[in-house]
């Protein structure tokens, strides 16, 4: 109840701040204070970006209030405005450059770990893994860091280089509907790939899509149920399609995840 009240109050504050922002901009424009208008717009944009990234309303509001105090306490002139603009541009350029460098170093470290695990003597492995990581995905749901971590995880699981792009593409497709962590989806897909050949791994993704949509379970519960019951496919008692059909059917009956294994075993 308290959280709901807080969320409603937060929305009202945001709406009020936006209205105040518009009125202040109108005041500055009408008064010919173009510099103040530009600075206010910059502060508003920066605070909205901070809120979108951090989801921390109090931090964004504090930054916004400090910006307003700066606008109203400084006697703005064109030299001061020029200095402010140069300092801001310098900070943005340097900050983005450092952030990009840190991201590139992190990706390089992850891929190097994967290459060294596969074969520390093969110096070409890093380039091959980097090529897999840089391949553009259709929907772009996975970041380069997520793909690199997925590649490292698959390297630890002894997945072949030829199969890695297939798994990553399938991971992206499942990530659209499951919203689960990348590594959790990859772990599930590796179970599928172990049970069928490389060519059928990609084909099974669409079948899994349909099974998740038809089943009255969450994607996470579905993955858990499949993990508990995949032994029947390993033992050649069921095919993957037959197992998915049984999971769908039992989910319609409201079966608890821990009961699937025993119920399926009785029907074999």
Neighbours of 9 (CB within 10 A): 10
Q: Which of 110-114, 196-200, 207-211, 221-225 has the lowest mean pLDDT?
A: 196-200
For 12-35, write each residue's pLDDT tens digit. 555 655 555 565 555 555 455 677
Residue 135, Ramachandran bin (φ over 0: left; ψ between -120 and 50: alpha; else beta):
beta
Evaluate whether 268 touches 235 at the Cβ level (below 8 Å): no
Neighbours of 52 (CB within 10 A): 9
* pLDDT at residue number 3: 45
* pLDDT at residue number 109: 94
Whether the model clears a pTM of 0.75, i.e. scores above it, the answer is no
Residue 157, Ramachandran bin (φ over 0: left; ψ between -120 and 50: alpha; else beta):
alpha
pLDDT at 63 > cutoff 50 = yes
Q: Which of 48-62, 94-108, 238-252 has the lowest mean pLDDT?
A: 48-62
For 110-127, write each residue's pLDDT tens digit. 999 999 999 988 889 999
Question: Cα-Cα-Cα-Cα dihedral of 74, 75, 76, 80, to 10°?
Answer: -70
Residue ranges of domains in the chain: 2-76, 215-268
Q: pLDDT class for 82, splitting at 50, 70, 90?
A: confident
Q: pLDDT class for 199, splitting at 50, 70, 90?
A: low
């Amino acid at each position: 109840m308290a959280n709901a009240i807080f969320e409603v109050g937060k929305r009202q504050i945001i709406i009020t701040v936006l209205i105040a922002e518009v009125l202040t901009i109108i005041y500055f424009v009408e008064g010919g204070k173009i510099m103040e208008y530009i600075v206010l717009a910059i502060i508003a944009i920066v605070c909205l970006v901070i809120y979108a990234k951090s989801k921390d309303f109090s931090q964004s509001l504090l930054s916004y209030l400090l910006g307003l105090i700066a606008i109203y306490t400084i006697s703005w002139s064109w030299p001061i405005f020029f200095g402010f603009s140069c300092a801001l541009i310098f900070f943005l350029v340097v900050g983005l450059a450092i952030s990009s460098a840190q991201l590139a170093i992190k990706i390089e470290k992850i891929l190097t770990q994967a290459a060294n695990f596969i074969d520390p003597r093969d110096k070409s492995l890093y380039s091959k893994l980097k090529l897999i990581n840089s391949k553009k995905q259709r929907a772009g749901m996975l970041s380069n860091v997520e793909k690199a971590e997925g590649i490292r995880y698959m390297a630890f699981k002894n997945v072949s280089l030829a199969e890695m792009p297939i798994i990553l593409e399938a991971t992206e497709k499942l990530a659209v509907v499951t919203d689960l962590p990348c590594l959790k989806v990859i772990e599930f897909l590796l179970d599928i790939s172990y049970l069928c050949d490389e060519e059928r791994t990609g084909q099974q993704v669409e079948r899994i899509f349909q099974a998740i949509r038809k089943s009255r379970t969450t994607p996470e519960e579905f993955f858990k149920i499949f993990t508990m019951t995949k032994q029947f496919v390993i033992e050649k008692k069921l095919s993957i399609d037959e197992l998915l059909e049984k999971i769908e059917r039992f989910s319609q009956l409201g079966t608890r995840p821990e009961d699937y294994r025993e119920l399926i075993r009785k029907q074999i």
